[in-house]
A and B are shown apart, each in its own frame.
Chain A
């Protein structure tokens, strides 16, 4: 059971908007720790998609956006494209574990 909870899967048609939630607690997201998001295609290196809750690294399209509120965060993807089909992970820090922690991952399917 992951410390950060994500839906196992989401789906959407090309061009649509999808959101992926990441629910934490008072020992991680709720404690003020930042949330970061990664895109991972099997067999490849995970890619940092969003850092510090809402910032995009250079080269990440503005179709990807992040937000954080209270004990939760979310990743939004607009204008879905076939190449967006991947696993997405949120990540933060947990004071109880004194560890960085990941969500369980969400598989995005582009219909």
Chain B
């Protein structure tokens, strides 16, 4: 079964760091483009970052320079290192697989909650 299980969220003070993880099963993460998408409380979905099969990455302007997406091919895992956390980063973070048909996200994790508060 194709599945994504995200984890690693928690309560962090402003300026702190977290590493989110996403365990994939049923497919190979390095074989497609993998993404992180977030949803702040009461808000809509916001694309955050992508890592392509070739290893190149891209970020939303709101997180550029603070977030780093990576993967471990041997563990079939996706990660998001979040540094210099801000209150506005509070959100549920979802990992999502890029669809083979291009431009969409066809498999999603259930999300992990990051709360930034003092």
Q: CB within 8 Å of B: which residues of A?
A: 2, 33-34, 36, 38, 40, 43-48, 51-52, 55, 57, 89, 91-93, 97-105
B52 at the interface (CB under 8 A from A): no
Chain A contacts for B111, CB-based, 8 A: 45
Contact of B45 among A51, A57, A89 (CB under 8 A): A89
Chain B contacts for A2, CB-based, 8 A: 44
Query: B104 — nearest CB in chain A belongs to which residue?
Result: A36
Contact of A102 among B46, B99, B108 (CB under 8 A): B46
Chain A contacts for B107, CB-based, 8 A: 48
Other A-B pairs beyond A34-B104, A51-B104, 15, CB < 8 Å: A34-B102, A45-B110, A48-B107, A51-B101, A55-B101, A89-B45, A91-B45, A91-B105, A98-B58, A99-B60, A102-B46, A102-B47, A103-B44, A104-B44, A105-B44
Chain B contacts for A47, CB-based, 8 A: 108
Chain B contacts for A43, CB-based, 8 A: 110
Q: How far is the CA of A82 from the CA of B111 in the complex (A)?
A: 24
Q: What bracket does the count of chain B residues touching chain A fall in?
A: 20 to 34
Most B-side CB within 10 Å, residue of A91, A99, A103: A99
Chain B binding surface SS class? strand
Q: How far is the CA of A33 from the CA of B94 in the complex (A)?
A: 23
On whether the beta carbons of A46 and B106 are closer than 8 Å, the reply is no
Minimum Cβ distance to chain A for residue B104 (Å): 4
Q: Give how many A-B residue pairs fall within 8 Å (CB-CB).
A: 69
Chain A binding surface SS class? strand
Chain A contacts for B1, CB-based, 8 A: none
A–B Cβ pairs within 8 angstroms, 5 of them: A38-B45, A38-B105, A40-B45, A51-B101, A52-B104
Minimum Cβ distance to chain A for residue B18 (Å): 20
Chain B contacts for A38, CB-based, 8 A: 45, 105
On whether the beta carbons of A100 and B109 are closer than 8 Å, the reply is no
Q: How far is the CA of A92 from the CA of B102 in the complex (A)?
A: 11
Asked if A93 meets B105 with Cβ closer than 8 Å, knowing A46-B94, A102-B47, the reply is no
Minimum Cβ distance to chain A for residue B63 (Å): 11
Contact of A105 among B35, B45, B101, B106 (CB under 8 A): B45
